[in-house]
Structure 1
């Protein structure tokens, strides 16, 4: 049955995710700060709205996937945001990678209005968004999750309710910590292969199918081999995510030295002007360090 969905944030991933819902026959009301980035969705039948408030007024289930926690707070909790304009019984689903504490705040304020909320960050990058193969990690009440699950299943092939509010964000932090360490391995491995005069694609063909295989080497490694540093996920957003993870670790009195080291390399990438590159752009930092 067709549902009235709202979608705020039509960037690298959000546009593809929303498009799957539109093509599945759901009525979509959309907003993005730059309207041009929503052109494909509008052409496919989505209705443009001039503000998050209008999206909230017209849709029953409102999805947000924006850049930073400050954007989430403004979009959802602002005086002209989603929650202030959502009637009782509606549902807010934040798919931004954000702070667990902010997810808890949204849940508390939404509950006061009898509005449901879920934190549901994703993993899989631009490829996962385009191919509807995202992993979607959800925090919140099961009754609310059950009302949205069929929509999640259109966008991803691994949808899990991880626990109460904030659990989705905590799971995404586990994901980002693992990716951070993996990316250092990917970059150093391929730098070694290049220095040794190897064909990078042939190296990936072999090591990507063995014990060292990972999504990062088989997907982002290929992009590095092709000198393709376009973003499937921006370096600037990955730095944001690592910062959240490090802050949460500090709060839990947990030492994560590997993550702290990788974070410094990515901060170096931003200092070099690479913040708009994909996470595989870390290669450029270590390449310059080694003057290859």
Structure 2
């Protein structure tokens, strides 16, 4: 016999449902709808089906910028996966060691940049890395590495990597704290039994702790994916809407901004901007679907 949902639950859930619908669900649906329309010379909109997406993917006028932004976004995500998450795992493992002095202080200092505004972080690193007035070259000179200093934010080959590492520095506290909480949840009796059996610290980590935190590592991966493909603020605050030099730091978020709102000589197009936003949504949706239907399912089988 099915139980009816109590009216108290409806009363408490209704405000959250209304807020989510007004500020998230309805705008998303309207964006998907707008991507199916086109704007003529008079500014009137008419239904165009998939014409905007065909232009975005195949017309060089639009597709060159889109695929460049997509490739840069993949590199942005790859650097976070290869640098941020492994270092976050290492820091969490070190901070979970029994008897570590000043562990709370270390956690606070590492997590502190996450609380800062991205605009402030971008401005600070611009000051540090500026070849004209920055302190980066002087700091490298103190350790004998001044000859290796370069205007990393001003070169096409290094600007995106530099911005990615700045983002890693700011947000590394998030995966660290998630993994740290998972490590603390590992049963102590399992660890003690392994120690009694003579297992080394490395073996305990690789064969006991790491398999038990696989679900958390999967969660960190999907959060990194979603966050990176929604990224915009750091690129905009440091390199502006043009994502220079020569669009070398352009990602989907900045490309969407220029397409929708326009910038300098580029005229904004809400319908094409909605098409870009729809493609971003589909990319994120596909990534999340792959995680849930492949990785998460495998983790569940492993747990069983």
TM-score (norm 1): 0.21
TM-score (norm 2): 0.21
Q: Which has the larger radius of gyration?
A: 2
The answer to which structure has the higher helix fraction is 2
Structure having greater relative contact order (Cα 8 Å, sep ≥ 6): 2
The answer to which structure has the higher strand fraction is 1
